Amino acid sequence: MKKETMITYKGTNKDMKCHGGIQYEIGKAYADDGASRCDDKGFHSCKTPLDVFRYFAPGQGSRYFVCMAGGKIDERTGDSKIASSELTLTAEIGLPGLVKAHIEYVKSNTTMEHTGREKATAGPRGAATAGDRGAATAGAYGAATAEEYGAAAAGECGAAAAGAYGAATAGEYGAAATGDYGAATAGDCGAAIAGDYGAAAAGHCGAAAAGDYGAATAGDQGAATAGDQGAATAGFHGAATAGAYGTATTGGSGTATAGDYGTATAGSFGTATAGAFGTAASRGSVSVGTRGAGFARGNDVMVRGGLGAILVIAEEQDESYDIKEWKAVVVDGKTVKADTWYKLKDGELVEAQEVVTA
């Protein structure tokens, strides 16, 4: 067990609480001289930024912070998680900040380098850089960077960045970033970011973000975000968000959100939300904006809409998927209130408790 001070990274839920129930505040110093066992005691954080995804995956209301850990420090062998007797959350950096911090972390831990104008290759913990139209490849824990029209690939825990029109691929726990029109792919628990018209894909627990007209896909418990007219798809328990005219799709228990004129679809127990003139469908809860259209079918489902929206709600039989009762209404602000949750009871709409999403 060591005594030192180090920069670490931490995730919390949306209320800034950890799994142990500690309520954190930015800038407040927490100390407990008797708490420093990595498996069960102490203030936990990670030295490697993207290891935080193991404990607080994106798409579930997770928040991310840079910290200063000190006092007695205990480290585990499975990943970079530590337990410290002292911890201060110095700043909230969010998902983009965590990705940037991971890229810098990888670069700062490289020990071998081979750089060539046409092709660059480095071994484990190495760094590779190639020029225009070149190719850069780095091994595990390495960093690979290629300029425009190039291709960059990094191994596990690596970071890959390519310029415009390039392609960037990173292994598990890696971070991949590419410029406009590029394609970025990251492995499990990784983060992939592509510019406008680009495509970003991340594995389980990963985060994928694409600009306008782009496509973002994340695995289970992941978070996918696409800009206007883009497409965002996330797996079970994931979160998919698309801008105006975009399409957001998520699996069971996930959250799908689309902007005005967009389309949001969520699976069983999920929540689908679309803006004005949008369309939302779910087997859980549905919310649409002004003059939108919402459809919910399942058990104990709920609907909500803005003025002029059309809402269709259907309850199924408990023993089958057969329809037990259904109702279609227009939100007129009188008989059916705007922006108010409803459910079916004995074939009639009744006001329901507000849905709370992560």
Given this model, what pLDDT does residue 117 score? 41
Domain extents in the chain: 2-92, 99-242, 250-358
Tell me the pTM: 0.57
Residues, the chain: 358
Given this model, what pLDDT does residue 230 score? 79
Q: Write the DSSP assignment of 109-123 as a string of letters.
A: T--EEEE-SSEEEE-
**Which residues, listed in sequence order, are joined to residue 126 by a DSSP beta bridge?**
112
Provide block-wise average pLDDT over 10 residues at a time, the chain (358 residues). Answer: 82 90 94 66 86 76 91 80 92 81 66 45 53 57 60 64 66 66 70 73 74 76 77 78 82 80 81 87 89 91 94 92 94 95 94 68
Dist. CA 219–CA 172, nearest whole Å:
13
| CATH code, residues 250-358 | 2.160.20
The dihedrals phi and psi of 259, each to the nearest 5 degrees, come to -80, -165
Give 336's DSSP letter.
S
Dist. CA 282–CA 65, nearest whole Å:
33
Give 208's DSSP letter.
E
How distant, in Å, are the alpha carbons of 191, 195, 242, 358 from that of 210? Answer: 11, 6, 10, 22
Dist. CA 237–CA 221, nearest whole Å:
5
Given this model, what pLDDT does residue 358 score? 43
Fold of 2-92: ADP-ribosylation fold (3.20.170)
Given this model, what pLDDT does residue 75 score? 82
